């Protein structure tokens, strides 16, 4: 009995570490991150029916690509894969901190309080603009082992999750920017076109 308990404990430990990949830049990341103007960024993502090793390998490749691009969040549609999968890591300096993997995330509640904060995106490199979002959220999702989870998030984590979840619906942060003059200037300065923004109210 003790042996089987030890095996279970070890398996639990390993499952917690399945997403730990080196937080370093690679010469060639495994996945290409698409940029504003690419049609793939505007398509809705499908729910993942069964979480498999293939799902976990995709999450690892997304993390490797995200770390290479020095980002803190990445959604599968950004790499041309229309599945409801996000990876987030707000602690890039600490190799031991595991990233967050969110599969089929759904926000169940959002705070009445909102705040304005500057956002950027790996799909619109160099562009940083203010976006208004709820300060705190509650959500449900499946983790990388397919287990149902719930969590509360506020501050930067809440914002990052909302930003990445927008990608699952084909929405980019620039679509939420209300400062039209600032938006046009930032896009022009970084070689992007205003016509590729689809403003949401």
Could you write out the DSSP letters of every residue in 61-97?
HHHHHHHHTT-SEEEGGGGT--BSEEEE-S-TT-TTS
163 is in an annotated binding site: yes
Report the distance separating Cα 83 and Cα 76, nearest Å.
Answer: 6
The reply to whether 82 sits in an annotated binding site is no
- Residue 158 is classified by DSSP as H
34 is annotated as contributing to ligand binding = no
Catalogue the active-site residues. 164
Distances (CA, A) of 140 to 12, 135, 147: 21, 17, 11
Annotated binding site: 121, 163, 167
Annotated binding site for Fe cation: 121, 163, 167
């Amino acid at each position: 009995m003790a042996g089987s308990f030890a095996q279970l404990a070890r398996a639990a430990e390993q499952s917690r570490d399945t997403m730990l990949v080196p937080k370093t830049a690679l010469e060639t990341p495994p996945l290409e991150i698409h940029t504003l103007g690419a049609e793939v960024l505007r398509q809705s993502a499908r729910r993942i029916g069964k979480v498999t090793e293939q799902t976990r390998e995709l999450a690892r490749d997304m993390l490797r690509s995200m770390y290479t691009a020095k980002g803190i969040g990445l959604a599968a549609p950004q790499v041309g894969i229309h599945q409801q999968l996000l990876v987030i890591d707000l602690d890039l300096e600490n190799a031991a901190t595991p990233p967050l993997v969110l599969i089929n995330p759904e926000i169940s509640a959002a705070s009445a309080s909102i705040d304005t904060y500057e956002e950027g995106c790996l799909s619109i490199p160099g562009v940083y603009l203010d976006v208004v979002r709820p300060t705190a959220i509650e959500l449900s999702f499946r983790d990388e082992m397919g287990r149902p989870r719930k969590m509360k998030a506020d501050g930067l984590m809440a914002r990052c999750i909302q930003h990445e979840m927008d990608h699952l619906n084909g929405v980019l942060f620039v679509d939420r920017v209300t400062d039209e003059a600032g938006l046009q200037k930032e896009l022009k300065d970084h070689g992007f076109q205003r016509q590729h923004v689809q403003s949401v109210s």
